[in-house]
Amino acid sequence: MLDVAYEILDAEGVDGLTVRGLAAKLGVAATAIYWHVGDKQALLDALVDRIIADVGEVEVHGTDPAERLVTIGRSLRNNLLAQPHLIALVHRQGRTPVMFLAAQRVVAEELESAGLRGAEAALGVHAFLRHVIGSVILERTEERAPEQRETVEELWSREDVPIDPELAARLAQPVDRDELFDFSLRTLVDALTGTNDSAHE
Amino acid sequence: MLDVAYEILDAEGVDGLTVRGLAAKLGVAATAIYWHVGDKQALLDALVDRIIADVGEVEVHGTDPAERLVTIGRSLRNNLLAQPHLIALVHRQGRTPVMFLAAQRVVAEELESAGLRGAEAALGVHAFLRHVIGSVILERTEERAPEQRETVEELWSREDVPIDPELAARLAQPVDRDELFDFSLRTLVDALTGTNDSAHE
DNA sequence: ACCTGAACACCGTTCAAGT
DNA sequence: ACCTGAACACCGTTCAAGT
């Protein structure tokens, strides 16, 4: 039954998953759901638990800690982007922070082998995860948003823009999301681990 | 009429704002709404436009670009945190990215006076805003989430934790959100602007 | 031009009643 | 123990009809 709910959610999104629809697909009266799982709230909670277990696994590659952290970030991002409807539900349920937990440990290990300790390391762990997950959630909303291109272009093509024309031109265009994610992840990781090569062009 | 909708939203949250409820508060039939604004979708869009205008204003203080960027980030965060229901709606409507626009210009100026140009500056602008807004959105969900303290503590108090006990202890506790925001913002800004003093303890 | 009432197709949920 | 049907209180939305 949770399987069927999972299917509907993945295919039709959060709003497409209704108690009545689920019951229909199960060939059962709507009220039968209540006997098994309780509330719709309870249903969603059970689903979220399952999703978080699926999405928590991360891959780690590379030799030095900075490189390994970058691959962790990319892996997390890929997991999250792969199932947009699922993470939308997790976020709607206010359980996004729990998605951190699975990855916290592995991030902590890497920051430690980069030499961080105690309070600084703890802040680093949270900063890393918050940046990754926050970025991905924003990416997701960007994808499903009505592209407001006109507004942006208008903003940057006015005469009185006080900045470098090349910068203005670039800001008037859509950003390459992969490139941006890599850039900001790298910047943050380098800063956290103290790696100070600027050789990532 | 938008004023009343705004009030309801701010007081009761996204789910509390219904066409029928709004009509009742206006002393009018529910169907009258449709003549004036159209869909509920249209109603929400109009509300979002208004919210974005309110929240877009940022304050800038400080002398060097890094310091000024930090104050911009804090100011944005305060705006967003001040009206949780409103930003929840903006995010639900998929318009979160539009909240960037107002601040983009001022961030661009600061990065430019920090010496960044062209592609690097553009990436910097996006990285900065994505970090700030993503972080705040996650903070918000954390606040309204069911505190899963047990799970976290259990995770870090197990025997086989391979990391520094002090770090483990800190991760087992809730993080100070103000401190975390400042830390990560500062880290990112310093990295972006090339400021390399580690004198922010 | 502006508003109403009735009506429709949906929700989630409860509860007595059936097997 | 498991499921059904009827019923309730809600939604958003349409449309003919009123002034």
- Our count of domains for chain A comes to 2
In this prediction, residue A200 has a pLDDT band, given cuts at 50, 70 and 90, of: very low
Q: Which residues contact B90 (CB under 8 A, 6 or more apart)?
A: B48, B51, B52, B96, B98, B99
Amino acid B150: pLDDT: 65
Residue A45 counted as domain residue: no
User: Is B135 strand, coil or helix?
Assistant: helix
The tens digit of pLDDT for each residue in A53-64 reads 888 788 899 999
CA B179 to the chain's CA centroid: 16
* B20 assigned to some structural domain: yes
Q: Do A96 and B145 touch (CB under 8 A)?
A: yes
In this structure, the answer to whether residues B88 and B8 fall within a common structural domain is no
Q: Do B55 and B110 have their domain in common?
A: yes
Q: Do A12 and A75 have their domain in common?
A: no
Dig out the tokens for B139 from the structure. Answer: 């903070």
In a domain, A80, yes or no: yes
Residue B175 per-residue DSSP state? P
pTM for the full model?
0.90
pLDDT at B196 over 70: no
Which residue is closest, via its CA, to the C1' of D14? B31
Domain span at A81: 51-148+162-200
Neighbours of A150 (CB within 10 A): 8
What are the angstrom distances between the C-alpha of B37 and each of B27, B42, B44, B49? 16, 6, 10, 14
The reply to whether B80 falls in a domain is: yes
Could you say which DSSP state residue A194 is in?
A: T
Query: Which nucleotide lies nearest residue A29, CA to C1'?
Result: D4
Residue A157 within a domain: no
Question: What sections of B13-117 are H helices per DSSP?
Answer: 19-26, 30-36, 40-55, 65-82, 84-92, 98-113
From CA A95, how far away is CA A92, in angstroms rounded? 8
How far does Cα A136 stand from its chain's mean position?
4
Per-residue pLDDT tens over the stretch B127-141: 999 999 999 999 988
**Does residue A43 sit within a domain?**
no
Nucleotides of C under 7 A from a protein CB: 2-6, 10-16
Model confidence at B201: pLDDT above 70: no
Rounded Cα–Cα distance for residues B188 and B66 (Å): 10
The answer on B19 and B88 residing in a single domain is no
B113 Cβ neighbours under 8 A, 6+ residues apart? B65
Examine the domain organization and report whether A95 and A137 are in the same domain: yes
Q: What average pLDDT does the segment A4-11 reach?
A: 95
Q: Which two tokens stand for residue A35?
A: 């006997």
Is A99 contained in some domain? yes
Residue B164 to residue A137, Cβ atoms within 8 A = no
For the cut 60, the answer to whether the pLDDT of residue A98 exceeds it is yes
Residues A28 and A105 in one domain: no
Question: Which of chain B's residues have a Cβ under 8 Å away from the Cβ of A196?
Answer: 196
Mind listing the pLDDT tens digit for each residue in B69-125? 999 999 999 999 998 999 899 988 888 888 888 899 999 999 999 999 989 999 999
- Same structural domain for residues A31 and A78? no
If you ran DSSP here, which 8-state letter would residue B201 be given? -
Q: Is the CB of A30 under 7 A from strand C?
A: yes
Cα–Cα distance, B60 to B126 (Å, whole number) = 18
Residues B25 and B97 in one domain: no
> What does the pLDDT read at residue A149?
62
Q: What is the pLDDT of residues A68-82, one digit of tens each?
A: 999 999 999 999 999
In degrees and rounded to multiples of 5, residue B131 shows phi and psi of -65, -50
Residue of B44, B77, B96, B130 to mutate when probing chain A, most A C-beta within 10 A: B130
Collect all residues with Cβ–Cβ distance below 8 Å to B199 and sequence separation of at least 6.
none
pLDDT at residue number A148: 66
One domain, residues A59 and A23: no
Asked if B92 and B115 sit in the same domain, the reply is: yes
CATH classification of the domain holding B27 = 1.10.10.60
A69 and A135 assigned to the same domain? yes
Residue nearest to nucleotide D3 (CA to C1'): A32
| Together in a domain, A78 and A115 | yes
SS3 labels along A115-178:
CCCHHHHHHHHHHHHHHHHHHHHHHHHHHHCCCCHHHHHHHHHCCCCCCCHHHHHHHCCCCCHH
Q: Under an 8 A CB cutoff, do A94 and B137 touch? A: no
Q: Burial of B91 by CB count in 10 Å (0-12 exposed, 13-18 middle, 19+ buried)?
A: buried
Q: How many C-beta atoms lie closer than 10 Å to residue A65's C-beta?
A: 21
Confidence label for A198 from pLDDT (cuts 50, 70 and 90): very low
pLDDT at A197: 47
